[in-house]
Every structure is written in C-alpha cells, then in structure tokens.
C-alpha cells in the first residue's frame, strides 16, 4: 500500500493528475441545436453564457443550422443527472443564465437538402428585443429548423421542413402577434 501511495504521489507531482486525465478522457463532443441565435452577433452572447457553465466548451458553431458542437463530460457538467435528462437540464441552465434568450433543443432530423429557405419581409423590428420576439414566434413552429430575424435587413428567414409547415403558416403566426409582414423588404 505504501508503494501505491508513493506511486500516486509521484504521478501527482510529475505527471498531470490522474483525476484530471480521467475527466478530460471522458469529455466528448456533442452537437446541440441552439435556440436564440436569431442573428450572427448572438454568438458572443452564447459564448458569454457558456462561460458561466462549468466544464462546457464551445468547439464550433454552425449559425446556418443553429447547431453548436460543445465539448463536455456529462458526468461532470451535469452531475447527478440521468443521461436522458441532460438535454432538458442543459436547456434549463442555459435559459436561466441567458435570461431565457438562449436554449438547446433536439436536432432537426430532416436532412439540410430537404429544408426550404423562406424569407419574409417585415416592418417594425427596430431593436434586438423585437427581433428576439419575432424569432421566437417562428422557431417554435413545428417544422422550423432554424430562423433569423434582422431589424437592419427588415426580414425574417427560416429553414423549414415543408412536410410540417409552410410560408403561410409562418406569416399567419407573425400577423397574429402583430408583426407587420410586408410585400418587399425595406
């Protein structure tokens, strides 16, 4: 037992700590669909929020699909959470940290080449909060894989699965919430 203790002491002082090695060895890359990425400048907000979540690192971000590759050890980042409950727990934590403007959802199973890009010209989106509200109206519709909202460009863009939704449904949802849909972008 003394030789084991000496060996462990040697490893701690000469080599990286075995505990740290085992933690980093358990880290994996996970792809998550990130909600709240309605414009490219939201990447900074995502990075800031993730910096507050211990043990979770952003590896890459595909803004066009609203998907992030994140590296973490589920046993460390979501201690005492069952594997099937991790996505829900992750969403809750990210929403809490970001004042409910960012979250994670399951990936869209529809292949990208089967999604249609829809652009809807709108008027009256004059700030980030308005864009977030319009974005949230759209991304919550079943069949929307990704959405953006730009007050600078005066439009909302969405990648949709046409087997589940269509342009008319998106426009109707916006109009119901009093977003002005125009015929041409300003």
The pLDDT, as a whole number, for residue 131 is 86
In three-state secondary structure terms, 11 is helix
Cα separation, 170 vs 158, whole angstroms? 9
**Alpha helix stretches (DSSP H) within the chain:** 2-14, 18-26, 42-50, 74-77, 86-97, 128-139, 167-176
pLDDT single digits (tens) 75-130: 999 999 999 999 999 999 999 999 999 999 888 888 888 999 999 999 888 888 88
Which phi and psi angles does 2 have, rounded to 5°? -65, -40
CA dist 107 and 44 (Å) reads 22
Question: Rounded to 5 degrees, what angle do the CA atoms 110, 157, 144 make?
Answer: 30
**pLDDT for res 97:** 96
pLDDT at site 110: 85
Contacts of 125 (CB under 8 A, 6+ apart): 131, 134, 149, 150, 151, 154, 179
CA angle 31, 21, 78 (to 5 degrees): 45
The band of 184, judged by pLDDT with boundaries at 50, 70 and 90, is low
């Amino acid at each position: 037992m003394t030789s084991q203790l000496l060996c462990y002491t040697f490893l701690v002082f000469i080599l990286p700590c075995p505990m740290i090695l085992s933690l980093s060895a358990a880290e994996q890359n996970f792809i998550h669909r990130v909600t709240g990425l309605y414009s490219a400048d939201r990447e900074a907000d995502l990075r800031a929020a993730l910096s507050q979540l211990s043990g979770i690192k952003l590896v890459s971000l595909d803004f066009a699909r609203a998907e992030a590759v994140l590296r973490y050890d589920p046993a460390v980042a979501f201690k005492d959470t069952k594997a099937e409950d991790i996505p829900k727990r992750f969403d809750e934590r990210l929403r809490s940290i970001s004042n409910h403007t960012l979250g994670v959802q399951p990936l869209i199973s529809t292949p990208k080449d089967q999604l249609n890009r829809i652009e809807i010209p709108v008027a009256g989106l004059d700030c980030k909060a308005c864009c977030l509200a319009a974005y949230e109206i759209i991304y919550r519709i079943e069949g929307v894989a990704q959405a953006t909202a730009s007050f600078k460009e005066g439009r909302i863009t969405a990648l949709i699965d046409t087997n589940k939704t269509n342009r008319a449904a998106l426009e109707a949802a916006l109009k119901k919430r009093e977003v002005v849909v125009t015929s041409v972008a300003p």
